[in-house]
Every structure is written in C-alpha cells, then in structure tokens.
Chain A
Amino acid sequence: MDSPLTLEPLFHIGPVPITAPVVVTWAILVGLAVFAAVSTRHLKLTPGKVQTVLELFVTTVDGQIRDTMQRDPAPFRALIGTIFLFVLVANWSALLPGIEPPTAHLETDAALALVVFIATIVYGIAARGMKGYLGTFAEPSWVMIPLNLVEQITRTFSLVVRLFGNVMSGVFVVGIVLSLAGLFVPIPLMALDLLTGAVQAYIFAVLAIVFIGAAAGESPGRPTSEQGETSS
C-alpha cells in the first residue's frame, strides 16, 4: 500500500501530472452529472420516487442552512449541497474494489477546504461589505485580530485534517486488516467506514455552513414562512 501522503502520477497531460484522486474525482463528477441530468429531466408536480428523494435531499439541505444561518438558503444551497454530495460519494467510493477515495488524500480535502475558505470570504464581503467583513476580525476587540486571523487559518486546516484523518485512517485500517486477515474480515470495518463517511460528509457540510454563516452574519430578517415550509 502506498503512503497516503505521497501521490504518484498515473499519466501526464502535457506538463500536468494526473494522479489517481483526480481520475476518481472525474469519474465521480461524470457520474453525478449524468445522474443529475437524467433524474431531473422530467420533473413533475406529482413526484416519483427518485424525484421525491431529490426533493427530500434539497429540502433537508435548505433546512440545515436555514436553521444554522437564519437566512434564505438559496444562495448557499448549491455550494453546501455539492460539498455534502461530493464528500459522501467520494468517501463511499472506497466500497468499490481497487478504488481509493479522493478524500483519503490531502490534496482533495485541501481543495474542498480552500473552496470553503474562499466562499467564507466572498459571502462575508457580499453580506457585510469589505469594511464590515474586515471589521469582524476586530470583534469583540481589536486585541482579538491576531487570534481571529489565526482562527481563520486553523479552522480551515482543521477541516482538512479532520476529513483526511478519518477517511485515510479508515482506508488504511481496512487495507491493513485485509492484508492480515481473510477476504471477508474487513467487511464490518467497511460498514463502519460507510457510517464514518456519511458522518464526515455531514460534518464537513455543517462546518462549511457555520463558517460561511459566521462570516455573513445573521440576516436582518428571519426567513419567510414559505422558506420555513420548505424545510418541513
């Protein structure tokens, strides 16, 4: 088993080395794109089973965003939902034989954390303005500016390390057990990895909501009743 901290390119496209996590991510990207395109082709007011699951997922994401941010979830829906879906599918891709989940590599987790970091800044500035956003670093006092700056970095790193550590450890444990014991022994651990993967996807998405919500601040008004009904 290769070290999770090193990546060997599978091939090169020009000067760009293409590694396994990138290829798996492309596969996930294509699969999700095809699934989304096919499943939303014939949406109806009276939903079928697949549409019902999709609507349940979207309303759940909306409800989570609304409960955490106290804001209209529409501007954040796609980002949070995509983070959750990608991390979940990437984590569960470990179930496929020979596939190593992209989130078991630091670069993928760092890319996700980088997106969240940038989104936090963008949404913060959009909601508060540049001066208002920068002013949040001086809260509750200007003395806290260094700590707040460090917090911005550390919490992003914590996102990376949390996801990376949990997924990588699961993959390694399963790999080690598989190399030491029989074929079916790691199955309980793989089942545990399913749970861990779902929980980590949820945690990553919720933390993204929290970080973005903290940067954007509370909405001047509560979500409307229509939006409230959407979460139910």
Chain B
Amino acid sequence: MTIDWWTLGLQTLNFLVLLWILKRFLFRPVSRIIEERQAAAHAALDEAEAARREAREVRDAAQVEAERVAAARSDVLAAAQQEAEREKSRLLKEARAAADTALAEGAAELERVREAQARALAEDAAQLATDIAGRLLARLPEVARPTAFIDGLAEAVADLPDATRAGMGADTPLRVRAAQDMAEEERNMLRRRLGEVLGHSPKLTFEVDPGLVAGLELVGPHAVVRDHFRADLERIREELSRHD
C-alpha cells in the first residue's frame, strides 16, 4: 500500500477550493436569504403586534368613549326626565288653575244666568200677578168706581209741596184720567175736593183710560198724581222684583 502524496495534496486543495466556492456561492447567499426572511417575518410579527396593540388601544379608547357616552346619555335622560316632571307639574298646575278659573267662570256665569232667569221669572210672575189682579179687579165695577178714589187722589195732591200744588189747575187745565167714564156728579165731587186741597177751583179735563184698571190719575204741567190700581200694581211688581 502506497500513498500518492500528490493526489493527497491535490484532493486537499480541491476540497478547500470547493469549500470556498460553496461558501461563497451556496451557503452564504442561502443563509442570508433565510435571515432576510426571518427578519421580514419578525418585522411582520412586530408590525402585527404593533397593529394589535394599536387596535387594543383604539378598542380601549372606544370603550371609554362608549362608557362616557352612556354616562352622558344617562345624565341627559335623567335631566330630561326631571325637566319633563317639572313641565308636567307646571302643566298640571296650569291646567288645574285653568280648570278652576273655568269652573269659577262657569259658576259665575251659571249664577248670572240663574239670577237673570230668576229676575225674568219674577218679572213674569209679577206681570202675571198684575194681569191676574187687573182682570179680577176689572170684574168689580162698583168697587172700582172713580168715586172711591177721589178722596185718595185729593189726599195725594195735598201731600205735594206747596210750590207745586199752588199753581196746579189755575191757568192750565189739569188732565184727569179715569178707568171709567166719570159721571157729572163724580166730576163735580172731584172738582170740589181738589178745590178744597188746592185752595182754588181747578180747571179740569177728563179722559178715559181703561188701562188704569180702577182709579184716577191727575196730570199737571209739573206733577202727576196717581191713585189707581195700575200704579199700585206696578209698585207691587217693582217691590217684588227688587226683593227677588
């Protein structure tokens, strides 16, 4: 067995050359591209982690914002509810006041209507009573003769003030209105009684007015003296109306 030292040396040299070539053209570029890929993967992972962190921060911020909005919403709702309660109370108060006012006005109106109705009813009743009394008195001709009212008329003239009474029937004739036509005897009796009261014989003119029902009415230039049922009934009606 012999060793070919030339071959041994050449093979060693060949291997070293091959080692340099493969290191230069195979292992270095391949390992470099692997490292680049790892770096890219790490960069992508870091970027993803950063994005995840950012997303988490955004999510947290959004959650805080949502909680803030929820709190603000609750506050707004509470404030709106309180405002609504206040408005409701105010409206109820106003409505109650308006209702009270309307009730008071209604009651007052009702009272007014009731009073008006009562007055109208009283007037109607008085008118009806007057009419009834007039009709009933009209059926009593004897009692209602003017003669029965001559003294009353004279007394009423006597109650007039002296100044009024002084000139009555002196120059201007006095109008005597009677419910029925007066007989000559009744006219003379009236003229005599008035002459006693006035102090002079008055000039008289006679008229018939059935509306007087019964009695006499003396109409002078400055005074009217009534002594008949219509005047009495009107007084009664006024009294009744006043008392109602």
Contacts and interface: CB of A to CB of B under 8 A. Distances in A.
Contact of B4 (A77, A86, A107): A107
A158 interface: no
Counting contact residues on chain B (CB < 8 A from A), the size range is: 20 to 34
Interface in A63-117: 74, 77-79, 81-82, 85-86, 102, 105-108, 110-112, 114-115
Contacts of A7: 4, 7
B120 interface: no
A111 B1 contact: no
A32 interface: yes
Interface string A12-52: 00001111011001101100110011011001110100010
A17 B40 CA distance: 52
Contacts of A229: 38
A59 interface: yes
Contacts of B14: 22, 25-26, 29, 111
Q: Is the interface of B mostly helix, strand, loop or mixed?
A: helix
Contacts of A2: none
Interface stretch (B18-26, B76-84, B159-167): B18-26
A8 to B, nearest CB: 9
B12 A115 contact: yes
Contacts of B36: 45
A229 B41 CA distance: 12
A54 B25 CA distance: 12
A181 interface: no
B2 A6 contact: yes
A111 B31 contact: no
Interface of A: 5-7, 16-19, 21-22, 25-26, 28-29, 32-33, 36-37, 39-40, 43-45, 47, 51, 54-55, 58-59, 62, 74, 77-79, 81-82, 85-86, 102, 105-108, 110-112, 114-115, 226, 229-230
10 contacts: A25-B14, A26-B14, A45-B40, A55-B33, A58-B27, A58-B34, A62-B31, A78-B23, A86-B15, A86-B18
Across chains A and B, which 9 residue pairs bring their CB atoms closest together, nearest first? A78-B23, A111-B11, A36-B26, A107-B7, A36-B25, A111-B12, A43-B33, A40-B29, A107-B8
Interface of B: 1-4, 6-12, 14-19, 21-23, 25-34, 36-38, 40
Given A111-B9, A111-B12, A230-B38, 12 more contacts: A29-B21, A33-B25, A36-B22, A36-B25, A36-B26, A59-B34, A78-B19, A81-B27, A82-B18, A82-B22, A86-B15, A115-B15
